[in-house]
Amino acid sequence: MAGTANLPASKSESNRALLLQRLAGGGHLTHLSEANDTVLMERLLTQAATTDLLDAEDAGTVMRFMTAYLAVTGWRGTLTGAARMKQRPIAILVEGLQALGADISYAEKEGYPPLHFEGRALTPAAGQAELRVRGDISSQYISALLMIGPTLPGGLRLRLTGEIGSRPYIDMTLNLMRHFGATAEAGPEESVVVQPGGYRPADYEVEGDWSAASYWYALVALAPAGSAITLPKLRPVSWQGDHVIQYIMKGLGVATEFLPAGAGVHLTQVPLAPAELLTQPFDFTDCPDLAQTVAVVAAALGVPLRLAGLHSLRIKETDRIAAIQAELRKLGADMPEVAPGIFEIQSTDFQVGNQEIATYEDHRMAMAFAPLAMRGPLRVQHPQVVRKSYPSFWHELARVGVVLP
């Protein structure tokens, strides 16, 4: 396998930039993601001006960011989502917004979407607003609150309690906020201080998506000897936490070379050297979207990798831990919990031979297991789920000669 694969733009950067552009009142965004989540985010931001019913479908980022945006803009109406979205908790974000003066209620089940907004703009008490939020929840709650902070009359101090997960996504949010003119800095006792003053219009070019790049790392790792791939529009210094895939995959047989002038990366297959990954469990707290991909590669290579920091996977598009376990068993492997919060890849008789992989309406399940086509014939149920984040995924695979039945 060899060639160049086009990546989608970062969905995480795109959705944040769209919201900040709207709060800033302008700015030109280029290389926006074509993922359904980003298309949906852009559409709902526009529709909010003319309708009282918005549907975030199955997009967690959209649901959480729009909740904060609609609260701060005084929108009146109902924000709903798909059946799975109605099972994903949102109470911590809603309670934070209510503490800032938002009038939000639950249209169905307490603590879950749909949400009804009464059309009252936030009215925090005089001075700087302060909220305490658990750090081990989804970083999307924290990012949503941070992004509206500059629009509050006295700004916002957000105190994060307990263990902080997905910190790179919080850092990405803060970096983009600063790009759009906000002042936000780390304070004492795990706090973030956001000054009042709003945003100013700014242009921004979105980077390629490192989460999407992980599937190409997996393909190179599992492909025949000598395989290589080039991925454009990835930067040596990235705001995306998932850029750590380059270090993880080094131990699983893939080397990363950054091309001159920010042209992207070139991936080549190198001898497997997993020893550095096996000294202790690898913690995915800051990069949960990589867990499925790495688990599948480790299982295929027979590497008994231990994985930690998977707690947030239980409340994604599906229960991703249960989904990984179920699909690995079809292939002669498993990922049992061997200690509290610690999962181990156990590969006894791993074989790829016409299995059908269930995707559980989860785009990352489809793309994490697809690289196994390098090891034998494989079918993926409901392949269209990739539209959520990487609509051209199957097309790009076909361009380099990888076709699933």
**What residues act catalytically?**
289
Taken in order 56, 61, 63, 68, the sign of the CA dihedral is negative
How far is it, in rounded angstroms, from Cα 4 to Cα 6? 7
Give the C-alpha distances (Å, rounded to integers) separating 293 from 31, 38, 121, 122, 188: 25, 22, 42, 41, 36
How far is it, in rounded angstroms, from Cα 260 to Cα 33? 24
Asked if residue 207 lies in contact with residue 9, where contact means CB atoms within 8 angstroms, the answer is yes
Give the C-alpha distances (Å, rounded to integers) separating 299 from 7, 311, 351: 25, 20, 10
Taken in order 147, 149, 152, 158, the sign of the CA dihedral is positive
Mention every residue, 6+ apart, whose C-beta is less than 8 A from residue 200: 24, 180, 181
How many residues make up the chain in this entry?
A: 405
Q: Report strand pairing: 76-80 vs 115-118.
A: antiparallel
Q: Which two tokens stand for residue 366?
A: 């489809």
